[in-house]
Chain A
Amino acid sequence: MTINARAWIAGVFEHPRREIRDRSIPQLHAEVALGALADAGLDVADVDGYLCDSSAGFGAISMADYLNLRPRYVDSTETGGSSYLVHVGHAAAAIATGRCQVALITMAGLGRSGRAPSARSSGSPEAGFESMWGMSAISGYALAAQRHMFEFGTTSAQLAEVKVAASLHAQHNPHALLRNPVTVEEVLDSPVISSPLHRLDCCVVTDGGGAVLVVSPEVARDLGRRSVKVLGQAEAVKHTGNGRLDLTFTGAAYTGPEAFAQAGVTPADVDYVSLYDSFTITVVQTIEDLGFCEKGAGGRFVLDGALVAPEGRLPFNTDGGGLCNNHPSNRGGMTKIIEAVRQLRGEAHAAVQVPNCEIALAHGTGGSIGTRMGSATLILGREDA
């Protein structure tokens, strides 16, 4: 059994704020839950499946209590920033097998105002061999970028094109943290934080969150709101492979083919992509691994406005992405789903709405492409696609 068209996304909500000092994380979960329910035209009492990350206490147990839910299906799968794309796949499978009809997925965090839970290193089996070298999140991605440059001739100017495209989109998003378009030169002139990555190769750090409602086809049919079809989803962990780590590819190389096969579409069919953009190199490698170009050609692929909506070859992250708009609590997966749904509903900003957008792909990455990561690819279709 596949999940293809057996579950629909009926509601989404992105918290409009980017710096939030007057809310707790559980309260943010509640606000985005209510936002998504209102978007779909459903009530809290309709929810019979609940999925969330581990940001609030005992995950789904604490949050089901806070939200006063009675879920028949629960899941707190934790794969970092990719968690929410994993959750959509699990919710779709639960709906397809009759475990629930209305699955609510929430994420929230306070990464910007400094109340994010600390990184889990203590107790992890790798900590004893990785935590003593002065590694930061950006250093891990920098190691991958350096090797990609060495193997394929990728340049800093090519990576900068990713940030430029995101910034051109963000100027139209009134909620985006960074709304000023930037140039390749400005990216290259920004300080090197961990070579070869500059400050403007990095995503923003924000507070906030979002929610998604995955429902059965029967529930979707009775709603007055346009829904989008879940066509395919795949998840994977790519890790160091017993010390034989290959930095030139990401877990998208595992999830892309599986998600496309489930959905019955190919990269050429995709009209819009929400690509995880923790750093510019993340986007370049993901484009290659998902098959939008040959391995190693990602740096050349992103030139000439290829990522810029609506006319580029592969319009991406039209909300401004994590690079400019929102990356709540260092986790960009939820916002990737939400903008893909906006595109398929024709509700993106008019300046960046992809005409006749029928098939969209969202991809999430959690952890680090420099060590180990969770990866998830989600393929969605317009209501009538």
Chain B
Amino acid sequence: MTADHLPAPAPERTPETGKFWDATTEGRLLLARCDRCDAVIWYPKTYCSECGGLSVSWIEAAGTGTVYSFTVAHRGPGPFGEAVPYVIAYVELAEGPRVLTNIVGCDPGQVSIGHPVRVVFSDTGQGSALYRFELSTTSPSPGQPDA
């Protein structure tokens, strides 16, 4: 199963998130970081929801993380119903945020909490790409899930 297996609906864009989505078409995952307190902000906003700072910069994420939680969906809304079973997960990015996403490119039975993952992109065909994740080849150390 690859990222292409799942529908890739175009996300809603706002004036604040256009740059984030533009970068995904170049295979880059951007994160908003506060210039004042250095907090990484998720979901992306152009103000800091930690300290209230109004100056925020885009940084490029490493694109790596671990599975914080996951579920294998055997029913799905709309076109996802044709793609079951598929994996929905929270991935904890190396930079800290836990982001909702899909795990793709593997048998759903291989996914486990704590497993390292890396980002892949699914083109929506509408000027954006969805950040999804594949399992990294390195297995998680037993008894050492995520941080």
Question: Interface residues, chain A, CB within 8 Å of chain B?
Answer: 122, 125-136, 138-139, 142-144, 146-147, 150, 191-197, 240, 242-245, 247, 371
A136 touches B77 (CB 8 A): yes
* Contact A142 to B6, CB < 8 A, known contacts A125-B43, A134-B88: no
Q: Which of A135, A144, A191 contacts B88, CB < 8 Å?
A: A135
CB-nearest residue of chain A to B43: A129
In the complex, what residues of A have CB within 8 A of residue B80's CB?
A: 134
- In whole Å, how far is B82's beta carbon from the nearest beta carbon of chain A? 10
Verify A193–B75 contact, CB threshold 8 A.
yes
Given contacts A150-B113, A244-B98, contact A128 B43 (CB under 8 A): yes
Given contacts A143-B88, A147-B69, A147-B113, A132 and B11 within 8 Å (CB-CB): yes
Task: List residues of chain B with CB within 8 A of the CB of A147.
Answer: 68-69, 113
24 contacts between A and B (CB under 8 A): A125-B14, A125-B45, A128-B17, A129-B11, A129-B44, A133-B88, A134-B77, A135-B88, A136-B73, A136-B77, A139-B73, A143-B89, A147-B69, A193-B75, A194-B71, A194-B74, A194-B88, A195-B72, A195-B74, A240-B42, A242-B41, A243-B41, A244-B96, A244-B97
How far apart are B65's CB and chain A's nearest CB, in angstroms? 12
Q: How close is A193's CB to chain B, nearest CB, in angstroms?
A: 5
- B75 close to A146 (CB less than 8 A): no
B112 CB, nearest partner CB in chain A, Å: 9
A131 contacts B11, C-beta separation under 8 Å: yes
How many angstroms between the C-alpha atoms of A22 and B86 in the bound complex? 39
Binding site for A on B (CB under 8 A): 6-14, 17, 39-45, 49-50, 68-77, 80, 83, 86, 88-90, 96-102, 113, 130, 145
Measured CB to CB, the nearest residue on chain A to B114 is A150
B71 near A150 with CB under 8 A, answer no
In Å, the complex CA distance between A128 and B50 comes to 20
Q: Of B13, B97, B100, which one neighbours A130 at CB under 8 angstroms?
A: B100
The interface residues of chain A lying within 8 Å CB-to-CB of B98 are 240, 243-245
Number of A-B contacts (CB under 8 A): 116
A247 vs chain B, min Cβ distance (A): 6
Kindly provide the distance from the CB of B143 to the nearest chain A CB, expressed in whole angstroms: 12
Whole-angstrom distance between the alpha carbons of A138 and B96 in the complex? 26
The answer to whether A135 and B96 touch across the interface, beta carbons within 8 angstroms, is no
CB nearest neighbor in A for B45:
A125
Chain A nearest Cβ from B94, distance in angstroms: 13
A125 to B8, CA, bound (A): 19
Tell me whether A192 and B90 are in contact (CB under 8 A).
Answer: no
Instruction: Report A136 CB to chain B, min CB distance, Å.
Output: 6
A139 to B86 Cα, complex, angstroms? 11
- A335 CB to closest chain B CB (Å) equals 26
Q: Contact check: which of B9, B10, B50, B113 meets A146 at CB < 8 Å? A: B113
Chain B residue numbers with a CB within 8 Å of A193 are 73-75
A194 CA / B97 CA spacing, docked (Å): 24
Chain B residues closer than 8 Å to A242, beta-carbon distance? 39, 41-42, 49-50, 97
Q: A139-B71, A143-B70, A146-B69 are in contact. Are A133 and B101 (CB under 8 A)?
A: yes
Residues of B within 8 A of A196 (CB): 71
**Chain A residues whose CB sits within 8 angstroms of the CB of B41 once the complex forms:** 242-243
**Chain A residues within an 8 Å CB radius of B45:** 125
